[in-house]
Structure formats: structure tokens, C-alpha cells
Amino acid sequence: MTQPEISVSRSRWTHRDVAPFVSLMILLIFFTVATGGDFFKVATFVQVLRQGAILGIVAVGLTFVLLCGEIDLSVGMVALWCASFSGWLYHAIVLDGWTRGETVLFEPLGVEHAGGGWILLIIALPLLSCLLLGLISGWLTVWAALPSFIITLAMMNIADGLSAQVTQSAALNVPEVLKTIGNRGIPITEVRELPYSALVAVAVFVLGHIVLEHTRFGRYVFMTGGNREAARLAGVRTDAIIVACLAVSAFTAGLGGLIVAGKLANVSQDQNASLLLEAVACVVLGGTSLFGGEGSMTKTAIGVLTFSVLAVGLNQISWVPDLLRPFVMGVVLMVALVVNGVLAKRG
Amino acid sequence: MPTTAISPNPPAAEAVLQCRRITKRFGGEVALADVDFSLAAGEVHGLVGGNGAGKSTLMRILAGALPDYEGQVLLDGEQVRLSSPQTAMSLGIAMVHQELSGIDSLSVAENLFLGRQPLTRLGWIDWKTMRRKARMYLMELGIDIDVRRRLDSFPLVVRQMVEIARGLNSGARVLILDEPTSALSPPETRRLFEMIAELRKRRVAVIFISHFIEDVLEICDRITILRDGQRVETKPVAQLDKHSVIHAMLGHAMDVAEVGYETSTTLPPRRDEPAVLRVQGLTLPGHFSKVSFEVAAGECVGLYGFVGAGHQELVHAIAGALRPSTGTITVDGVPLRLGNAAHAVRHHVALVAADRAQSLYHKAEIHKNVTLAHLRAAVGRWLSRKAELRTTEPVLRRVGCRPADPRLAVWNLSGGNQQKVVLAKWLLGPIRVLLLEEPTRGMDVQAKDEILKIIADLREQGVAVVLASIEPELLLKQADRILVVRRGKQTHEFTDTQLDKTTLLQYA
């Protein structure tokens, strides 16, 4: 038998890929029916986007980390640190100034006089510091050959402590631009706006997708997670890849934290408590493997949307009491994950 | 369509296993077409065939790993459906894979009773009984070892035998051995054959899959030859010899008795050329010490030793996979950073390791694996699937990978084809030094031929080749010089001399 010319189109999509999308559709239909059509409105759409935007940004970075076979437990607290640092800088430079004891180190600029450059600094510097924290986590993970689980767990506590130190347990104010991004958007109807935060999230997703699918770095991330030794022997600098991924997740976490603070108009120590688990849930819901080597930005996006639809939908169903909501959320999540898993095995 | 002289399948007395018209398709391709196969109790039945002939497919079906097949399988005359590995096991079909599946960190006794540990009345594991039974059971099979020791503290042949014992212990009546002798030295092969003889006595049916036709001819009662997914013939071993088997496998006669193999040779004089690869005083504690040698362009230096002699680790160390404690490695005069695989790859040192788990990400598509080492050169800055497939297809065809579809995930390929993918990976870029570790293990005659041809081509282009192997025949045929390694130390270098297998073995 001569080998036949492969003319059969082998579909790239398997059951495993389609499952999360199917879950999303089921949820949408369910909520539309359960709320008697109330669900399928622009208002809900906007709410889902707003919920999903922050989770989405963090999930993008987390996807990189999971794909290379590691995990980053510090995302919630790094997000908090970023906002805290930004808030502190804002107070120090713009609002209150910086005095130590008797000496005035810095006179406050005042909101009207704080130019774009200063505001940029107040936002960029914390983001860079997050990058630094990620680099440290990554470097320690590869140098000490310890599981990233352990290192990022420690980093989580470090970031938490740093935030507490910098805010001194007070609620700090944040730059106006963050509040705008967190709350406002492009008008689409008379009353509704397309949230800016969602636009930021889309940009981050698109960037993440391009890097993952179309750059060498992205390919190396996949292969490092899929079979680290094989990648190493093929000349991939797996250590550098891991450090880079952890840096990316810290950066996106920081970005997410800034938008959270913007949305809430301040930064306080109780923010982002559930960010880590929710972000991980989104990524896994989308079908990215916790073990590395399998996943994509599209999958994560679907996971984020599914999660947000679930959260917003539950809110709208009046017959679920408030206290039970986390429980119902958890049950549905579990069912969705199991269904995805079962379909993945078949596919 | 090749000629298929389907000889009548001799009816086996008390056929314990019968396969009728087994057909398996993968998408558009037919891997097996109307294959009949029968097995009697106490029979050792050899299964041979070339690359893509369908041996592994048939065995995977029998082991329950490929549940959607067409055709019938009968056990003791009753039709069964092999819908999952558990089903196959419960029906008494056990498979011992090429890559063993024992748990290395557990003891032999624990491995033997994996999942079926004897329990005390309270429900705890009865360790004493387990050890006693394990020892007794293995003794009956002619294996006298300390069952408390870790599985990985034993040589490969013992681990294989423990795995066979495990299969038997869980009630297997049909045992499938996949390439059991490919990593065994001659005395170890003896030992395995003794065990198979014992199995015969116990009326266990054995399917023996191997590329070593001498082994198959020695131990089997009947041989089935597959080619291109069809059964060519099944004959008692008395009616066959090596030539006729190869003839049936390939569909034409081979004028060389065995491709790539030699039992004695004359090694050429040492070339007077500058060395491409220079290794000096290389030491890796516990594996090898103070190894030094040079390889010139186009030269093939063979490293010979038994399993565990250290020559295989040596090759890994040169590639940067392992980090020696002292010594230097230079390529074209440039010293390589020890233990740094990326640095070695940048200097065009390519390693084809024996263990494919170290070279391939099996779940990923072939093209992703093939382009990994030379991604920039192969595809450029912007990765596009089309461009990548376009780059990968020619090199896959060059190495003779079947099927040459880069979109398939690597795990779909047979072992020999996977090895070709590993080679293809390096062929996408320049190679200065090619390090080979058991490059043709588990491959049939045709695949071996193809791989060796590619290596010969590379040598002509000036690539320095280091070939580490435990097969003296391969080295005698391929190498210009042979270094013998025993327990981590270089014992002798053979060059410009007559050499045969016996002499080689003496120094190992």
C-alpha cells in the first residue's frame, strides 16, 4: 500500500478545544432563559466585560506561566502591591508631599499641576517594580531549582507585606486616569459605555496571542512546558523562558491591580483577595493544562468570559440568595471543569 | 499494490487467541488491512515487519489501546471486544512495552504486586506476605533476586523479567513482548530466552515482536510477517531463514545479509586532519573519568561498552545535557561551556539520544518538534503554520519518516519514525558534531538503512560523528576508530587494524 497523499483535512479542533466554548454557550442560554430574556441586554454585556477585563488581564500572564509548566501564586498580592505603590507615589508626589519628621523632601504638586509625565511615572514605576518582583521569583525558581509553587507562595507574602507597609493600612487615592479606565468607557448607547478596561484587556489578549502563536518566544514557552528536558537539549534556554514568564505574569497582575484600584477609586488592603483563585479558575476553565504545554489565549479568553457570565448571571437570578452565591458558583465551576475534562478525554 | 502471497494461516491446535480480518484506519490511512492472526497456548509467535508495516498497531489493538478497530478478536473461541487496556488485561492479555512501565523508585516486590497488594485482616498492606510471595514467584520463573531492592537498582533485563512476571501474576495468558532484546547484551538475551522457555512450559502464549531476526528465528515457533498493513505470511520457523524473512518483509531480496552490521572489519588508518571535536580529561563522577579523544571532520569515532559503562553518559556530557566536573570540550577550537546545552547547540553540536522522551514532546505536532532547534533559521521571526509545514515536509521526507505528515502529533508515530523526527530536527540547521546514542535501536532493516545513509551523507559533508552503542556489530560497520569504555574508563582505542567482535568484547 503506497502511503496515500494526505489530502484529508485534519481538523485542528478537537473535542477538547470545543468543550469550553460549549460550556459558555450553555451558560448563556441558561441565564437568558432563567431571567426571562433580561440577561441578553447591552447592560449585562457591559457588566460581563467589566468583570472579565481585570480577570482577563491577569489570566493572560498566568496563561504564560502555566504553559511553561510553572505556577504563580503571587498574582493577587502583586496586583495589590502595584496599586499600593502607585497610590503611595500619588500621595507623595501629587497629593500630600513627602515629609520625614521635620524635613520636607517633596512638595506636593497638587492635582491641577501634576502633568502627564508625573502621572505616567506614578503608573509606570509600580509596573516596573512588578516586573522586578516577577524576575526575582523566576530567577529564584530556576537558580534554586525549587518549585515555582513554593517561591511564588513566598513572594505572595512578601508583596502583601510590602503593600501593608506602604499603605500603612490606610486607603490611598489613585490617579484619575486609573479611575477613568476602571469605570468609564466609549459610549455605545445613550446610557451604556464600552468599558475602557475591556479595551485594555483586549489589547493585552491580542498581544499575548501574537507572542504565543507567532513568535519564537511563544513557541519556546509551549515546548518548555511540554517537555522541558527535550526543549533544553534542543538548545532552548528553558531557564530564561521560565524567568520571563514569571515576569510577564507579575506585570499583568500589576496592571490588573491598577485597574481594580481605579474601579474602586482607591487602594486598600482588602482588595484582590480572591483574584488568584478566580484567575486560575478562568485559565483552567478555558482548557489550558495545569501541567504545561497545552493551552492558548483564545481558550483563556473563553474561560474568562464563562466565569464572568456565570458571576453576572448569578447576580441577576433573583431566586439565588446572596449567601448561597459563592456556593452555586463553585458547583457550576466544578461541573464545567468536569464536563471539559470528560470531553477532553474523548477528543 | 505489492504482491501479497497470503499463505493459508495454519490452524493452530487450541488457538487461545484468534484475530480475524482486523482493520484499522487512522483518518484516511489504512494501518492494518484484513489481518488474520492466531496464537496457540504455549506458542512463541514472532511478529516481524518493516517501518509502518502495522506491527505496533496490531499490538496496540490487542493491548486495548486502540478500541475502534474493525474485525473480530476471539479468546478461547469466544468473541471479545478489546475496548480498553483494562479490558484487555482482565481478559488475560498483558503487554511489556519497549519502554518499561515499572515504577523505578519502588521495590521489586511492590512492582510485582502493583494494585494487587496482599492485605492483612485489618486492611493494611501485608508487606511480609508480599515479599515472600514475590520472591517465591520470581524463583519459580528462574529469577533469584532480592525483592526488597528498588527496581531501578537492577539491570534492564531483570526489570523486563519483573514486568513479565507482573503480567503473568495478574493472570495473563497472552504476553506481548515489544522489542524485548533491543537493549540487552548477549548474556542478558540468553537469560530472557530461558524465561520465555519457562513461559512456554506454563502454556502461556507469547507474541515476540523484534527487529532482530536472529533472535526471532531462535526463540519463536512460528513467525508472522507483516508488510504495509497486510499479513504476508505465517510459517513455522523451521521453514524460514533470515534471507526469506527479510525478503518477505521488504518484498524484494537484500543482497547484504544484514544492513549496517558486520562481525569483523579492518579499521582504516588514522586521518591526519585537524580535529573538529576535542575532548580532554572529561570526568563525571559516578559515570566516567578522564576521557580524552578527538574526532576529525567526516570521521566516525565509535564508543563501545556494555550498558552502564559510561559511554552513553559521555555523549550526553559532550552535548551539554550533563555537566562534567572537570575537563574540556572544544569544537573547532572553541571551548564549550560544560553542562550548557544551549551553548553546545549554538556551536552546532547535535545529540540524538537513545531515550526519545528526552528528545521529543510527544503530544505536540511533528512540525513543532522538528523546528525547535533551529526555529529562527527554519521559520524566521514571525511563526506561521503554513511556512512551518512547508519547511518541515521536505526534511521529513528526507529522513524517511512515515507518514510524512507534519501535522500529526508525535505519539502517533512508531518508535523508529520518532527517532527519525529527532534526526530531522538537527538536519534543519548546520551540524559540526553529531553525537549518536543507539541511533538505530528498535528499528527495522529498512529504517536502519535510511538512517545510516543520512549519517554517511553527513560524514561526507564533513560532520564529525561520535557513535556510542552497546552493539558491537553496528560499530564495526560504521566506525573509523573504536574506543572501548569499561566502567567509566577508556580501556583501548582500535585504529588501523583488523578487528572483530570477540576482541572488542574482550576489552569491554
DSSP A77-140: HHHHHHHHHHHHHHIIIIIS-EEETTEEEE----TTT--HHHHHHHHHHHHHHHHHHHHHHHHH
Q: How far apart are CA B459 and CA B426, in angstroms?
A: 14
Residue A233: what pLDDT? 94
Element (H, E) at B33: strand B29-40
The Cα–Cα gap between B100 and B225 comes to 25
Q: Please answer yes or no on whether A222 and B368 come within 8 Å at the CB atom.
A: yes
**Res B212: pLDDT:** 76
Closest residue to B319, CB basis, from A218, A220, A233: A233
What per-residue confidence (pLDDT) applies to A5? 37
pLDDT of A315 higher than 60: yes
DSSP B77-89: TEEE---SHHHHH
0.90 exceeded by the pTM? no
Which of the residue ranges B165-169, B264-268, B393-397 would you say has the lowest mean pLDDT? B264-268
Residues of chain A neighbouring B30 (CB-CB closer than 8 A): 1
DSSP string, B391-426: HHHHHHHHHT-SS--TTSBGGGS-HHHHHHHHHHHH
Taking the C-alpha atoms of residue B490 and residue B289, their distance in angstroms, rounded to an integer, is 8
* Lowest pLDDT segment from A283-292, B181-190, B421-430, B491-500: B181-190
Bond prior to B403 in cis (omega within 30° of 0): yes
Please name the residue that has the C-alpha cell 549518536.
B436
Cα pseudo-dihedral B350, A234, B52, B214, rounded to 10: 50
Given an 8 Å threshold on Cβ–Cβ distance, is A226 in contact with B403? no
Per-residue exposure over B80-104, b if at least 16 CB sit within 10 Å of its own CB, e if not: eebeeeeebbebbbbbbbbebebee
Look at the domain B256-348+431-508 and name its fold.
Answer: Rossmann fold (3.40.50)
Is the predicted pLDDT of residue A268 greater than 60, yes or no?
Answer: yes
Quickly state the pLDDT bin for A12 (edges 50, 70, 90).
low
pLDDT of residue B183: 66
- Of A89-93, A159-163, B102-106, B287-291, give the lowest mean pLDDT range: B102-106
Instruction: Quote the cell numbers at residue A343.
Output: 470531553
Check A229 against B358: CB less than 8 A apart. yes
Does the pLDDT at position B474 exceed 90?
no
Question: Contact at 8 Å (CB) between B169 and B158?
Answer: no
**pLDDT above 70 for B107:** yes
At A158, the pLDDT band (50, 70, 90 cuts) reads very high
Taking only the tens place, the pLDDT of each residue in B331-366 is 999 999 999 999 999 999 999 998 888 899 999 999
pLDDT band at B325, cuts 50/70/90? very high
Question: In Å, how far is B372's CA from the nearest CA of chain A?
Answer: 6
Mutate to test the interface with A, among B35, B337, B363, B372 (most CBs of A within 10 A): B372
Q: How far, in Å, CA of B162 to CA of B109, rounded?
A: 9
The Cα-based distances of A110 to A100, A178, A229, B208 in angstroms read 19, 17, 55, 85
Helix (H) / strand (E) containing B281: strand B275-284
Locate the chain A residue with the closest alpha carbon to B27: A8
Contacts of A293 in chain B (CB under 8 A): 361, 363-364
DSSP secondary-structure letter at B259? T
Please list, in sequence order, all residues whose beta carbon lies within 8 angstroms of the beta carbon of residue B257, skipping any fewer than 6 positions away: B242, B243
Chain B touched by A215 (CB under 8 Å): yes
Cα–Cα separations (whole angstroms), residue B298 to B334, B353, B461? 19, 20, 7
- Name the residue type at position B233: E
- Which residues of chain B have a CB within 8 Å of the CB of A221? none
pLDDT band of residue B252 (cuts 50, 70, 90) is: low
Chain B hits for A230, Cβ within 8 Å: 357-361, 369, 372
A64 touches chain B (CB under 8 A): no
Q: How many helices (H) and strands (E) does chain B have?
A: 17, 22
Q: How many helices (H) and strands (E) does chain A have?
A: 13, 4
Contact B354, B312 (CB under 8 A): yes
Q: What percent of chain A has pLDDT over 70?
A: 94
Cell 447591552: give the residue. A42
Instruction: Break chain A into its structural domains and give their ranges.
Output: 15-25+38-346
For residue B53, what is the nearest residue in chain A, using CA coordinates? Answer: A1
Chain B: residue nearest A236 by CA?
B342
Identify the residue with better confidence: B3 or B415: B415
DSSP 3-state of B97: coil
Report whether A84 contacts A172 (CB < 8 A): yes
Contact B341 A233 (CB under 8 A): yes
**Nearest 5°: phi and psi at B26?**
-115, 100
pLDDT, residue B423, reads 93
Whether domain B15-92+175-180+205-255 has CATH 3.40.47.10: the reply is: no
Contact B455/B434 with Cβ under 8 angstroms? yes
- pLDDT reported for residue B130: 93
Q: DSSP assignment, residue A157? A: H
The CA-based dihedral angle spanning residues A285, A291, A297, A298, taken in that order and rounded to the nearest 10 degrees: -50
pLDDT (0 to 100) of residue A2: 40
Beta carbons of B224 and B36 less than 8 angstroms apart: no
Question: Do the Cβ atoms of B30 and A1 come within 8 Å?
Answer: yes
B71: left (phi over 0), alpha (psi -120 to 50) or beta: left
Provide the strand spans (E) within chain A: 98-100, 103-106, 185-187, 193-195
Q: Out of A98-112, A157-171, B265-279, B425-439, which region has the weakest mean confidence (pLDDT)?
A: A98-112
Residue A7's pLDDT band (cuts 50, 70, 90): very low
B225 CA: distance to closest CA in chain A (Å): 15
Q: Which of A9-13, A65-69, A261-265 has the lowest mean pLDDT?
A: A9-13
Q: How far apart are CA A139 and CA A217, in angstroms?
A: 18
Mutate to test the interface with A, among B347, B352, B358, B375 (most CBs of A within 10 A): B375
C-alpha cell at A136: 526575582
Give B-chain residues touching A237 at CB under 8 angstroms. Answer: 342
Say how far apart CA A61 and CA A255 lie, in whole Å: 10
Residue of A nearest to B347 (CA): A235
ipTM score of the complex? 0.85
Average pLDDT on B2-29 reads 68
Cβ atoms of residues B411 and B353 within 8 Å = no
Nearest to A205 by CA among A70, A307, A298: A298
Indicate where chain B has its CATH 3.40.50.300 domain(s).
15-92+175-180+205-255, 256-348+431-508
B229 → closest Cβ in A1, A234, A237: A1
Beta carbons within 8 Å of B21's beta carbon, 6+ residues apart: B34, B35, B36, B70, B71, B72
Tell me how far apart the alpha carbons of residues A228 and B125 are, in angstroms, rounded to a whole number.
36
